[in-house]
Structure 1
Amino acid sequence: MENNTKLANDFGVEDHIIICNWTKKSDLLVKELHNPSVEKKRPIIVITENPQDVPDFEEDETYRGIMIVKGNPSNEDSLKRAGIESAATVIILADERLADTADTKTIMTTIAIDHIIPDIHVVAEVLSASNLPFFAYTFVNEIICLELLTERLLAQSCLTPGVSFIFADLLTQSS
């Protein structure tokens, strides 16, 4: 772990972003959240059971100050150690190592969040569209289902050539 990354339970930050699970998508996610064009860069706290998976980004200013809570994001204690009561947003990334049960863990995490603070802004990644109905019972504000997005973008790119470039521009922070 790098010197500026804390592995503790009290960071003294508020209005921060909590990322649940560190996956192969996390690197690009952090780059987008801390892109130079973003005016208000919020502190980021990552909750992961495997903190060794979070690379040591000491040389890159983008990652400076990322804090880590070692724990299960579906555990209320882990969420509280990450300061969920004072956070601005929670992003739940699907734990792809769990394969078919990744969405189940995401649902469990949303239930734990709802129990602590139901009015926080929650964005959840869902792998399988067949699991979307279960999220109707949670307070998730935004659900990103990659399965549906991919299919729909492919269809729209066929029907409207060039539309994928528009989406790429919309989804990328310019520098």
Structure 2
Amino acid sequence: MAWAYRVMFQVLYHLFHHIVWNPPVPMRIFVLLGTILLYGTTGFVYFELANNPELTWSDGLWYTVVTMTTVGYGDFFPKSAGGRFLVGWPVMVFGIGLLGYALSVVAAALVTSKSKEIKGMSSFALRDHLVIFNFPGLAKVERIVDELRLDPTIGKAMPIVLVDEFLEELPPELVKRGIHFVRGNPVRDGTLSRAAIDSARHAVILCRNPIDPASDNLNVTIALAIEGRNRKTNTVVECVDPASEELLRKAGSDRIVCTSRYDALFLSQELLNPGVQEVMDDLLSATGGQQLYLTTVTRETTLGELTGPCREKGHVAIGVYQRGAVHINPPSEIAVGQGDRIITIGSKRLPEL
């Protein structure tokens, strides 16, 4: 039984040391506030009850609160010397000081919390959110966030978390957009837990250095870390070297975007067909004009049968995406099965067809 007494003694010592001798700030404020309220209420009733027999304890409490907050309605005030100097003065001096101290503690806590979030030291309990990994530059991240916010799939309501190891502080432009920030190694479980990756709906992995093929190695590691925690997360990964695409697929990435391949295509097509860049910018950007959409088909049909419903909703059907193959401008008789996607151009996203 000796060990039980030792444990009990240690628990009592811990409680006595941390609560009695060094109590936390909220408890300290609560105890002091209660003491002042009790002193002011009882003192006011004790000294003023002889002059006003109708006084109640609620009147004393009301007087104390009004005096502490410097409101001073004047409906209750001390008339006796004891009520003025032994109750009124202490309540005013200590009450106002305590109120100022409490407000300063609250303000400091709010500033500290906001500073921790901006510096990436906070943890987030989010669900169905989007996580962006790596910070290649402000302009690129801003453009991605703005484009995603314009589409109802993401919208303005879905929380977005940025994860980066070397960004010291979240830029004000991203703070205004409501972006959360987690600073840390993106492949470590601690960082992923702080970003709530286990309940994330989407993840976008950007290349830390878009001109360095070695950035692909980090993205492969991040993709593996995400898949190890949450296979349901829809992961889109950017890569520099086309040779990294196969490795990213094996790592579990849902979609891969190789920027170097598209750079070459845009350059060559702009040379052969001047104006292609403006056309693609209009089709791919959600800021205005017409966009490309891939809409899931829920029944067995043909492209010709879907053209009419699409046209009624302001869309032009230009192709079919089925079994990983793209068919642009196919014959109208082409069969379209359940789960295939029809490629259209329109001003807003279509529901399932």
Q: Common fold, TM-score beyond 0.5? A: yes
1:31 alignment partner in structure 2 = 146
Stretch moving more, 119-128 or 49-58: 49-58
CA contact (8 A) 1:76 1:113 kept: no
Q: What are the residue-to-residue correspondences of 1:118-137 with 2, within 5 Å?
A: 118-137=231-250
Gaps (5+ residues) in structure 1? none
Q: Aligned letter for 2:145?
A: V
1:51 alignment partner in structure 2 = 167
* Shift in CA distance, 67/124, structure 1 to aligned 2, threshold 3 Å: same
Distance apart, 1:50 and its partner CA: 2.3
In the alignment, is residue 15 of structure 1 matched against residue 128 of structure 2? yes
1:88 alignment partner in structure 2 = 201
Q: Distance in 2 between matches of 1:5 and 1:159?
A: 52
Distance apart, 1:114 and its partner CA: 1.0
CA contact (8 A) 2:202 2:235 kept: yes
Q: Distance in 1 between matches of 2:127 and 2:265?
A: 37
In the alignment, is residue 109 of structure 1 matched against residue 109 of structure 2? no
Q: Aligned letter for 1:157?
A: E
| Identity %, equivalent residues | 26
Q: Distance in 2 between matches of 1:107 and 1:78?
A: 17
CA contact (8 A) 2:131 2:197 kept: yes
Distance apart, 1:157 and its partner CA: 3.0
Aligned length: 170
- TM-score, normalised relative to structure 1: 0.83
CA contact (8 A) 1:103 1:127 kept: yes
Q: Distance in 1 between matches of 2:227 and 2:193?
A: 12
Q: Distance in 2 between matches of 1:98 and 1:76?
A: 28
Q: Distance in 2 between matches of 1:148 and 1:5?
A: 39
Tell which structure's C-alpha radius of gyration is larger: 2
Q: Aligned letter for 1:144?
A: V
Distance apart, 1:134 and its partner CA: 1.4
Secondary structure (helix, strand or coil) at the match of 1:104 reads helix
* Shift in CA distance, 157/53, structure 1 to aligned 2, threshold 3 Å: farther
Q: Aligned letter for 2:208?
A: D
CA contact (8 A) 1:5 1:68 kept: no
Secondary structure (helix, strand or coil) at the match of 1:144 reads strand
Superposed CA RMSD? 2.6
CA contact (8 A) 2:122 2:194 kept: yes
Q: Distance in 2 between matches of 1:2 and 1:125?
A: 33
Distance apart, 1:9 and its partner CA: 4.4
2:103 alignment partner in structure 1 = none
Stretch moving more, 118-127 or 47-56: 47-56
- TM-score, normalised relative to structure 2: 0.44
Q: Distance in 2 between matches of 1:103 and 1:72?
A: 16
Normalized per residue, the structure richer in helix is 2
Q: Distance in 1 between matches of 2:116 and 2:145?
A: 14
* Residues 132-157 of structure 1: per-residue CA shift (max 9 Å, x gap): 22123121111111100111222333
Q: Distance in 2 between matches of 1:72 and 1:98?
A: 21
CA contact (8 A) 1:90 1:122 kept: yes
